[in-house]
């Protein structure tokens, strides 16, 4: 935990006169607890935080949580740059450095977030935010493959199989560059975070080889999974949320962790630098880091949490589900999506837009 020390000084006023002198010492000011706001504006993916948890916070603290949603991280960043007012926002790891560089994030006062101690050391002090000055880890997960085994001729076990196998359907991927480029980079033996122009170009060329097999889908499982269920897609590059939704149907859908290594993502809570309710936002984060509250989030949204203390309160069926909490042996050659430099971001985005034009 990191603390900031507030120093106060005493002003000594000395009065002198012809007949003598006296001195008085101004009393030290008494620290006061900031007052709670009447409302808090949360900006996040739709349904990412259960309403039941927000209601608990309102009941305990009397603070109404206004839940605003975005459709993409790019939209969220654009609205923050435009000056829209939020108090707590959820961002992927790879957006954090640019937000910090742009002066859009407040430093978190951890005196008000003591439950940060519940976060596993494995998720603290990571490269995208040293000392967690601006972020509190929220959840994490895996990007891997959902495969309709009845629509493939041979088993799919690798990223490279997306190029080598024939499918009776498309390969569905989200409309954002990091995951499709990540699977291409992995299949070629490169890091998913490579900014080497030659490696990224090779990944682009590799993606072009299967452009006619690819169909783009939206970020939500409700939009992506039906493509798999209908058979329009034989493979979905997806997440635990997709698997859990697909389980509701009695189809032959396999969750494949590619041999070259899975891709890991992470979400974080941040407080915008211009939030007028920073203390209330910090109190809200501390509430969400309580073990039993954090476990309630996991039990309702089915994403893995970095909160170690919450594990004792997570439904055992969820805690031991390898789709949600992948086994340790599957993490040996896994890679976490890390932020790209501005030049790297531009390179990926330009090539992705070019790729989409070539799909038309």
Which pLDDT tens digit goes with each residue over 118-152?
999 999 999 899 999 999 999 999 999 999 999 99
Spacing of C-alpha 348 from chain mean position: 20
Residue 17 has pLDDT above 50, yes or no: no
Range 195-222 average pLDDT: 96
Q: Do domains 39-134+265-324 and 141-262+332-359 have the same CATH topology?
A: yes
Which CATH class for the 39-134+265-324 domain?
A: alpha beta
- Residue 258 sits at φ, ψ, to 5 deg, of -55, 145
pLDDT of residue 315: 97
Please compute the mean of the pLDDT values over residues 169-198 and round it to a whole number.
96
Concatenating the DSSP letter of every residue in 218-252 gives -SSHHHHHHHHHHTSEEEEEE-HHHHHHHTTS-S-
- Enumerate the domain spans of the chain: 39-134+265-324, 141-262+332-359
In the prediction, which pLDDT does 247 show?
A: 86
CATH class for the region spanning 141-262+332-359: alpha beta
Q: How far apart are alpha carbons 253 and 228 in whole angstroms? A: 9
**pLDDT of res. 331:** 86
For residues 85-91, give the mean pLDDT.
98
**Rounded average pLDDT over 182-205:** 97
């Amino acid at each position: 935990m990191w603390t900031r020390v507030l120093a106060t000084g005493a002003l000594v006023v000395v009065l002198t006169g012809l007949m003598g002198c006296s001195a008085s010492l101004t009393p030290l000011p008494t620290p006061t607890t900031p007052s709670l706001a009447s409302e808090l504006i949360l900006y996040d993916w739709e349904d990412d935080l259960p309403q039941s948890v927000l209601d608990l916070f309102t009941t305990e603290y009397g603070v109404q949580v206004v839940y605003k949603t975005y459709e993409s991280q790019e939209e969220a960043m654009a609205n923050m740059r435009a000056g829209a007012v939020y108090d707590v926002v959820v961002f992927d790891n790879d957006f954090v450095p640019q937000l910090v560089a742009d002066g859009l994030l407040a430093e978190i006062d951890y005196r008000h977030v003591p439950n940060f101690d519940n976060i596993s050391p494995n998720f603290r002090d990571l490269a995208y935010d040293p000392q967690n000055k601006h972020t509190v880890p929220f959840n994490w997960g895996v990007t891997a493959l959902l495969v309709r085994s009845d629509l493939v001729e041979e088993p799919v076990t690798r990223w490279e199989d997306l190029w080598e196998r024939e499918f009776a359907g498309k390969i569905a991927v989200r409309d954002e560059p990091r995951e499709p480029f990540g699977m291409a980079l992995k299949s070629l033996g490169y890091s998913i975070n490579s900014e080497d122009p030659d490696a990224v170009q090779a990944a682009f060329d590799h993606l072009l080889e299967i452009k006619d097999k690819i169909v783009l889908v939206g970020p939500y499982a409700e939009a992506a999974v039906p493509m798999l269920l209908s058979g329009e897609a034989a493979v979905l590059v997806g997440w635990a949320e997709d698997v859990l939704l697909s389980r509701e149907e009695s189809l032959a859908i396999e969750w494949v962790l590619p041999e070259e290594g899975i891709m890991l993502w992470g979400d974080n809570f941040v407080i915008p630098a211009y939030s007028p309710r920073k203390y209330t936002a910090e109190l809200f984060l501390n509430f969400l880091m309580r073990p039993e509250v954090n476990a309630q989030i996991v039990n309702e949204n089915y994403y893995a949490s970095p909160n170690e203390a919450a594990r004792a309160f997570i439904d055992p069926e969820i805690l031991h589900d390898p789709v949600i909490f992948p086994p340790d042996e599957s993490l040996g050659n896994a890679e976490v999506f890390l932020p790209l430099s501005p030049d790297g971001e531009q390179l990926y985005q330009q090539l992705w837009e070019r790729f989409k034009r070539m799909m038309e």
